Amino acid sequence: MKYRSIFSLLVLMCPAWTVLPQSLSMKKEYASTLVQLSGTLLELQIEGQEKADCGALACNTCHVLHTRAAEAVYPFAVSYQITGEKRYLKGARNAASWLIGQQQPDGSWKETPEEWTGTTTDQLLMLLLAYEIISAELDKHEKVSWLAAIAKAANYLYKVMKPEFASINYVATTTATLAKAHQLTGTERYLARARELAHRTVSKMDEKGFINGEGGRGTGAKLGIDLGYEMEMSLWGLGLYAKTVGDTLVDNSVKNALKTHLDFIYPDGSLDNSWGIRSNKWTMYGGATSDGCQALFSLYADEDQRYASASYKNLLFLRENILPGGLIGYGPHHNRVFETKPCIYPTFTKAKNLAMAYQFEKKESRPYQLLPTEKIGWVKYFDNLDVAQVRTKNFMVTITGYRYKDQKAGSKSKYMFRPDGGTMSYLWVEGHGALQVSSVTEYSRPEPMSFPEAPGVKCLTPQIAYRDSIGYFTNLFEFDARMSTNALDNDRFRVQASGELKNRDWINGGIAYAITYTFTDDFIEKKVVLTYHDAFPTVTITEPFVMQAGMEVNQVNDRTVAISGGKKNFVFTTEGNGKLVVGRGASHYWTPYPAIKAFPVEIEVAPPREGFTQTVSYRIALEK
């Protein structure tokens, strides 16, 4: 009876469609995907010592030799360590030789084709870590060349790197880079600067360990929080620094932060950066140009068994985004929304992350333990972020009202087109996967080589909006929304958000809104109250749905839409003063980041004939 009770509890807590492994072979899992990605990158490497660009990695999409791609020197070195295959050693040596040849007189590397030199910290760290592995395999000339380049780059970072110069992830990475440079060269000033930068970075953490420093500048340093860059860059940089030099203050700060950040790994392993200020690069498995979360989780795997579980699940999700040919795409539907191959950035950044994870992991296997998001029946409000999460038996959602504003740059800031206003930025369904995801409110290409062309794409974030002769007004531009949460009982939860429909300059359009979300095991209900106080246009509520393979959206009648053909079937029903519109402009509902194809369901709400309010309620329910 005792064992039967334990089994029954596990059945209630775990997805019926998931077989949870009792033991995770972490080093084997890291090695498997690392060697796969390294093999793909090696095929792109230019060979032939007589060629000027021997050792560079060709990007057949951008037609550029990205200097950052030479960070593959480290994945190649670790792949050589794992397999013993000399081709990976040759790849590492050639990548380093080419990278050293690209070094600027001041010791920096440009992030070609851009002029930005902050990525020097990433390139140098990979050289340092690779040198630890293959230095015995280098000839005398190579060692001299490597050490000279390392010293020049470390001196450059010592001079320029600080929060006033770069986004905080570069500062955090530099703490590890200079600590490793000190370890190799014994240059004391590197260690002193690494400690200074680490403590400045930690000083920017809020009480829950989120770092302010990824967005636009205020009077000097940058502000704004981005979960993706923290999990995939900043925190492992600080952690590696702390463990290299024995800085317990920084180490404890990272440990505290990681406890909270774990909550943003969804049950399927996807990393929820739907709300972060750099979510314009969100690919669901992580970010398009950031490294990955495995390095962080493996670095602290001994602290909490759930970290290995989170790392493993995210790795499984990442693998689903590896395309035929071996490159990592921009999201789950890459081949459905692009005719071209992706840039090599996601592939080499995730490869270096897995190389670090392999090296940092101390044990061959670890027990599987449920993630916080795999447990059902809760609502959580992050008051430091104005972000809420809800988990019921069948649904998990994120609702964002994150209040950061780039006040200096305003609507010119690339950080001010993230979803906001109390919208549901991520909706995941047990046994189905993503049903709704967010994308930027207006697509642009602030970094032309990182953001592909996507003419005419529409926002995938659920929104309330109208457009008239004055402009476009939406709750997604409301960065001062008021939010609250509460549990109605054990399996029903409520989130409320209210504010004004605003334009891209954060100016009120004359209509207020209030959304009340009710979450149950089998349906999500939204009640929208519009208050017309200075404008009387027709307002459109748009709900785009992720179109997984085989899915169809069909209007049944003037109040009902059937969403079928996926792993689960859904029914969308509406009540109140609204006209249902299905599929308008459907071909434009896709996005590069995350690479997703969606289909719109809209409710048109006419202004009131009497009074000044209109109310619409609608449900997204699992078909029984």
Q: What is the DSSP string of 177-208?
A: HHHHHHHHH--HHHHHHHHHHHHHHHHTB-TT
Of 315, 346, 373, the position where a domain reaches its end is 373
Statement: residue 6 has pLDDT above 80: no
Do both 191 and 121 map to the same domain? Answer: yes
Hey, which bits of 384-452 come out as E strands?
387-391, 395-400, 423-429, 433-437
* Burial class of residue 142 in the structure, from the number of CB atoms within 10 Å of its CB (0-12 exposed, 13-18 middle, 19+ buried): middle
Q: What angle do CA 345, 351, 353 make, to 5 degrees?
A: 105
The pLDDT tens digits of the residues spanning 488-544 come to 988 999 999 999 999 999 999 999 999 999 999 999 999 999 999 988 999 999 999
* Burial class of residue 540 in the structure, from the number of CB atoms within 10 Å of its CB (0-12 exposed, 13-18 middle, 19+ buried): buried
The SS3 of residue 308 is helix
**In the 8-state DSSP scheme, what is residue 624?**
-
Run of H or E including 277: none
State the CB neighbour count (10 A cutoff) for residue 395: 23
Do both 436 and 347 map to the same domain? Answer: no
Do both 361 and 238 map to the same domain? Answer: yes
In one-letter notation, the amino acid at residue 346 is P
Total tally of structural domains belonging to the chain: 2
Do both 363 and 475 map to the same domain? Answer: no
Domain assignment present for residue 13? The answer is: no
Domain assignment present for residue 510? The answer is: yes
Compute the 3-state secondary structure of the chain and give helix, strand, coil in percent, each to the nearest 5.
Answer: 35, 25, 40
Lowest mean pLDDT among 299-303, 425-429, 489-493, 587-591: 489-493
Helices 120-134 & 168-185, crossing angle to 10 degrees?
Answer: 30
CA-CA distance, 419 to 425, in Å (whole number)? 7
**In the 8-state DSSP scheme, what is residue 476?**
G
Statement: residue 340 has pLDDT above 60: yes
Largest CA distance in the chain: 86
CA-CA distance, 44 to 55, in Å (whole number)? 9
Strand-pairing partners, residue 494, are 486, 518
The pLDDT tens digits of the residues spanning 260-307 come to 999 999 999 999 999 999 999 999 999 999 999 999 999 999 999 999
> If pLDDT is split at 50, 70 and 90, which confidence band does 8 have?
very low
Which backbone phi and psi does 560 adopt, to 5 degrees?
A: -135, 140
Domain assignment present for residue 16? The answer is: no
Residue partners of 317: CB distance under 8 A and separation at least 6: 268, 269, 270, 284, 285
> If pLDDT is split at 50, 70 and 90, which confidence band does 218 have?
confident
How many residues in the chain?
624
Which backbone phi and psi does 176 adopt, to 5 degrees?
A: -70, -40
CA-CA distance, 310 to 295, in Å (whole number)? 12
Strongest mean pLDDT among 188-192, 443-447, 532-536? 188-192
Domain assignment present for residue 19? The answer is: no
Do both 436 and 498 map to the same domain? Answer: yes
Do both 423 and 349 map to the same domain? Answer: no
Q: Given this model, what pLDDT does residue 19 score? A: 63
CA-CA distance, 348 to 328, in Å (whole number)? 9
Do both 280 and 240 map to the same domain? Answer: yes
Residue partners of 593: CB distance under 8 A and separation at least 6: 280, 281, 282, 283, 288, 330, 331, 439, 451
Do both 362 and 399 map to the same domain? Answer: no
Q: Given this model, what pLDDT does residue 624 score? A: 82
CA-CA distance, 353 to 290, in Å (whole number)? 9
Do both 188 and 272 map to the same domain? Answer: yes
Domain assignment present for residue 30? The answer is: yes
In one-letter notation, the amino acid at residue 552 is E
State the CB neighbour count (10 A cutoff) for residue 207: 9
The pLDDT tens digits of the residues spanning 549-584 come to 999 999 999 999 999 999 999 999 999 889 999 999
Domain assignment present for residue 182? The answer is: yes
Do both 182 and 305 map to the same domain? Answer: yes
Do both 363 and 380 map to the same domain? Answer: no
Contact 543, 462 (CB under 8 A): yes
Percent of the chain with pLDDT strictly greater than 90: 93
Supply the CATH number for residue 129's domain. 1.50.10.10
**Pick from 212, 163, 171: nearest CA to 385:** 212
Contact 394, 506 (CB under 8 A): no
Radius of gyration (C-alpha) of the chain in whole angstroms: 25
Q: Tell me the average pLDDT across 194-203.
A: 98
CA-CA distance, 464 to 479, in Å (whole number)? 14
Range of the domain at 113: 26-373
The pLDDT tens digits of the residues spanning 24-40 come to 999 999 999 999 999 99
The DSSP line for 278-312 is TGGGB-SSSBSSS--SHHHHHHTTTT-HHHHHHHH
Q: Dig out the tokens for 363 from the structure.
A: 């044990």
Percent of the chain with pLDDT strictly greater than 70: 97
Is the backbone peptide bond immediately before 113 cis, with ω within 30 degrees of 0?
Answer: yes
Contact 476, 423 (CB under 8 A): yes
Of 321, 355, 373, the position where a domain reaches its end is 373
The DSSP line for 483-523 is EEEEEEETTEEEEEEEEEEE-TT--EEEEEEEEEEEE-SSE
Statement: residue 15 has pLDDT above 50: no
Q: Given this model, what pLDDT does residue 277 score? A: 97
Residue partners of 558: CB distance under 8 A and separation at least 6: 579, 580
Domain assignment present for residue 340? The answer is: yes
Of 324, 346, 373, the position where a domain reaches its end is 373
Measured torsion, CA atoms of residues 301, 305, 308, 314, in degrees rounded to the nearest 10: -130
Statement: residue 86 has pLDDT above 80: yes
CA-CA distance, 10 to 557, in Å (whole number)? 41
Do both 337 and 388 map to the same domain? Answer: no
Supply the CATH number for residue 380's domain. 2.70.98.70
Domain assignment present for residue 6? The answer is: no
> If pLDDT is split at 50, 70 and 90, which confidence band does 5 have?
very low
**Pick from 485, 492, 496, 570: nearest CA to 526:** 496
Q: Dig out the tokens for 456 from the structure.
A: 């005419």
